[in-house]
């Protein structure tokens, strides 16, 4: 009995050991990538599509054989748009999941909450849609953007509005978050440089739902401006546009990629006419590029509906950007991947070709202008701004255009 018991115990131990070895081997056959997104909070109208796009890219890459002969293990965690939770999941990526890199988030505040933790671990981090061009300086040398910077889209919006609407503007900014604060500053810098005048500048708190105080001051102007530039988050833009129109203010409304959400039309309804915004691409299955048409079809097949906005494509592009760098690096060594990212040139993407030049961690990309007509997003133009404000809004001189 003792001999049999020993044999049985030994067999169990061997089985457990083999199981552990198999698990280790399996782990070595995958490359772990963290995906940080707000799947259930106030930013989810942008982050959920971005996470879907990222998952679609991972599925395609794995089906094609993976990267460096390994499958990608894409670990998604929900930040709930809570900055303390965002910091926690960043630590989980580093300490528990031991990821090789991180992609995700569509807002700068979430990147600022998670980025320093990822940077300290020396892990490459590509944000899908956080557009502050200051992020690489604020976070560190492992931080990269898959999208253009806010100074680029604000300059594009200023030049488009100055040319098409006029030389006077009202500027309203949500001062509660990094994105809208910087976007308003960049717009003002470029618009005034063009010769435009801000006739009234105002702010509101990020949690605001009632904009009557701001609208009252705007209506009190002796002459209404040619257009209204409103730097808003996706959860604010619908209410502010609706209340503006209900107050009888019918001039063009211009803003940034925070408008690129179905929630704008859902909330503002018919009042969303004459609204224009800068974004990364128009998800148009009829008139888009071949790449966009294919992406829309594949996304529809995978998720049962078309992409909600361009952030779906940004999530997709962010994963392909990272995987391309890993392939060229020939490993997941962080320094090698970082060097490969910096050498990225004309990488095809759904939201445009991606290049990093002159050591910049923000890619050179054009800007898409969208107009809302009859409740639908329509193409108003493709813009490469003539001049772009410096990433530091307090800098006195603008940088040259992204294409120069």
3-state secondary structure 335-403: HHHHHHHHCCCCECCCCCCECCCCCCCCCCCCEEEEEEECCEEEEEEEECCCEECCCCCCCCCCEECCC
pLDDT at 295: 98
Q: Look over the chain and give the mean of its residue pLDDT values, rounded to a whole number.
A: 92
Query: Does domain 151-279+374-400 fall into CATH 3.20.20.100?
Result: no
pLDDT at 395: 58
The structure tokens 């109208």 sit at 45
Asked if residues 51 and 33 have their Cβ atoms less than 8 Å apart, the reply is no
pLDDT at 296: 98
pLDDT at 350: 97
For domain 26-147+286-365, the CATH class is alpha beta
pLDDT at 177: 92
230 three-state secondary structure: strand
In the chain, which residues fall in CATH 3.40.50.2300?
Answer: 26-147+286-365, 151-279+374-400
Judged on CB neighbours under 10 Å (0-12, 13-18, 19+), 342 is middle
pLDDT at 11: 43
What is the spatial distance between Cα 181 and Cα 233, in angstroms, rounded to a whole number? 10
- Intervals of the chain under pLDDT 70: 1-28, 394-404
In this structure, what DSSP letter does residue 134 have? T
Extended strands (E) in 131-196: 143-145, 168-174
pLDDT at 13: 38
Closest to 179 measured CA to CA, from 217, 103, 127: 127
pLDDT at 77: 98
């Amino acid at each position: 009995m003792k001999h049999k018991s020993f044999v049985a115990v030994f067999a169990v131990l061997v089985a457990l050991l083999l199981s552990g070895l198999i698990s280790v081997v399996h782990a070595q056959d995958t490359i772990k990538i963290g995906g940080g997104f707000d799947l259930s909070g106030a930013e989810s109208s942008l982050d959920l599509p971005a996470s879907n796009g990222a998952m679609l890219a991972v599925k395609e890459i794995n089906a094609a054989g993976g990267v460096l002969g390994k499958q990608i293990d894409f670990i998604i965690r929900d930040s709930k748009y809570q900055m303390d939770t965002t910091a926690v999941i960043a630590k989980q990526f580093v300490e528990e999941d031991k990821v090789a890199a991180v992609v995700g988030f569509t807002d700068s505040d979430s990147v600022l909450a998670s980025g320093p933790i990822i940077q300290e671990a020396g892990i490459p981090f590509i944000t899908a849609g956080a557009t502050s061009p200051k992020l690489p300086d604020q976070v560190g040398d492992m931080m990269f953007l898959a999208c253009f910077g806010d100074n680029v889209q604000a300059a594009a919006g200023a030049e488009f509005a100055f040319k098409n609407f006029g030389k006077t503007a009202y500027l309203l900014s949500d001062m509660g978050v990094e994105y809208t604060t910087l976007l308003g500053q960049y717009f003002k810098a470029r618009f005034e440089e063009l010769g435009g005048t801000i006739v009234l500048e105002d702010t509101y708190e990020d949690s605001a739902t009632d904009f009557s105080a701001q609208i009252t001051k705007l209506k009190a102007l002796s002459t209404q401006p040619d257009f209204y530039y409103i730097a808003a988050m996706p959860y604010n833009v619908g209410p502010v546009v609706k209340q503006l129109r209900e107050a009888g203010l019918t001039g063009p409304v211009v803003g940034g990629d925070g408008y690129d959400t179905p929630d704008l039309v859902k909330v503002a309804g018919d009042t969303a006419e004459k609204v224009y915004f800068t974004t990364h691409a128009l998800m148009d299955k009829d008139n888009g590029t071949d790449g966009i048409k294919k992406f829309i079809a594949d996304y529809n097949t995978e998720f049962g509906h078309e992409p909600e906005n361009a952030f779906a494509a940004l999530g997709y592009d962010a994963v392909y950007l990272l995987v391309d760098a890993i392939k060229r690096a020939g490993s997941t060594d962080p320094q090698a991947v970082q060097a490969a990212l910096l050498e990225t040139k004309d990488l095809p993407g759904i939201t445009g070709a991606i290049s990093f030049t002159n050591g910049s961690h923000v890619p050179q990309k054009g800007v898409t202008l969208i107009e809302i007509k009859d409740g639908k997003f329509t193409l108003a133009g493709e813009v490469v701004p003539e001049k772009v404000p410096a990433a530091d809004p307090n800098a006195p001189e603008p940088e040259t255009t992204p294409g120069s």
